[in-house]
Amino acid sequence: MERFEIPLNNGGKLVVEKNQGSEFDKEIYVGVENASGAYIQDLVVVRPTYTIDNETVKFNSEPFEVLVYADADNEDYTNKFIVPLHKEEE
């Protein structure tokens, strides 16, 4: 499992984790776990944009989607940002 944890003062954890699902394996979740280890709140999902072709998810190389869950009482994201990939100058 690809995961990073930051302990919080209340015994919970700020967690960054790669999606373990086979179709959406390019997503990264940021959320909060309580002291018992239960996932209690989504904060952000970051992923490349994607299309669905014949019921198969196909991720693009760019741009990226950032889904923000700013309402603590709602499980749906509140803001969606499309972020282009920075082009390096040659």
The answer to whether the beta carbons of residues 78 and 57 sit under 8 Å apart is no
Contact by Cβ (8 Å): 14, 8: yes
pLDDT tens string 1-33? 589 999 999 999 999 999 877 778 889 999 999
| pTM strictly above 0.95 | no
In the chain, domain spans: 3-83
Q: What percentage of residues in the chain have a pLDDT greater than 70?
A: 99
Q: How many other β-carbons are positioned within 10 Å of the β-carbon of residue 27? A: 19
User: What pLDDT sits at residue 77?
Assistant: 95
Parallel/antiparallel/unpaired status of strands 28-33 and 79-83: unpaired
